[in-house]
Structure 1
């Protein structure tokens, strides 16, 4: 399993938005420039985010985007569902008259269902706020200059 480029860019843009929206709305152009992402691609991603009420747009000369709810309320699972539809492994159903129905059911219950459950546990409990905190602690260090 891997995240699509759309999902990666969606997560990057939401972290950027949360970090940079302290002083008001953030333009897609600035998010695109800071992260090396096509603004047209971000427009598609943010259209999906707007529809799902993850972000809201602010019109006007100082307009842009803001999170529609707190970063602590937006989970990685939310982002994946908005941009991909689902992140679960597909069910593997055997043909009803196959002699392998029991094997297929065993694989479904002990592998696929467990993996999906663990994915839910991780992704539904990992928020944009937690990603922002990690980013801020490990990468967003401003050089301090003393005179």
Structure 2
């Protein structure tokens, strides 16, 4: 499974909002500037997140976006499903031999488990514990 920029940048928005949870609205311009991303692209991603009820928008000079609930109640899976759709490891898995189907299902279930059990709060805690350049993930 390949996560596109929609999922990656959408998760970036959500982590930034979680970092500022309880402080009022955060502007997409600030998120874009801090992460060197396109504000216009982030605006396109914020709409489905709002429609899914993950964020709320606030209009006005001091407006922006905020999480609709606590960071510990929103998972990475919630965000990625909105922006990327359902988790699919292999297209046409039904046509594979049973041993291969078993492998693909195991991989899908492992990825799903990680996404379902990683909350925005977990990601914020990791963000606060580690220097920004220290991320290294092993698969």
TM range, normalised to the smaller chain? 0.7 to 0.9
Specify the alignment match of 2:24 in structure 1: 24
Cα contact 1:17–1:67 (8 A) shared by 2 = yes
Among 131, 136, 144, which residue is 2:123 paired with?
A: 131
Matched, 1:112 2:87: no
Local SS of the residue matching 1:93: helix
Residue aligned with 1:57, SS: strand
Give 1 or 2 for the bigger CA radius of gyration.
1
Query: TM-score scaled by structure 1?
Result: 0.82
Paired residues, number: 131
Measured in 2, the distance between the counterparts of 1:77 and 1:21 equals: 19
User: Match of 1:7?
Assistant: 7
Higher helix share: 2
Alpha-carbon offset, residue 21 of structure 1: 4.0
Alignment of 1:50-89 (within 5 A): 50-89=50-89
The runs of at least 4 aligned residues of structure 1 exceeding 6 Å deviation read none
CA RMSD of aligned residues (A): 1.6
Q: Distance in 1 between matches of 2:33 and 2:21?
A: 15
Q: After TM superposition, give the deviation of residue 22 of structure 1 in Å.
A: 3.6
Query: Retained in 1: the 8 A contact 2:58–2:65?
Result: yes
5+ long unaligned stretches in structure 1: 95-102, 141-147
Q: TM-score, normalised by structure 2?
A: 0.86
Query: 1:88 touches 1:119 (CA, 8 Å); kept in 2?
Result: no
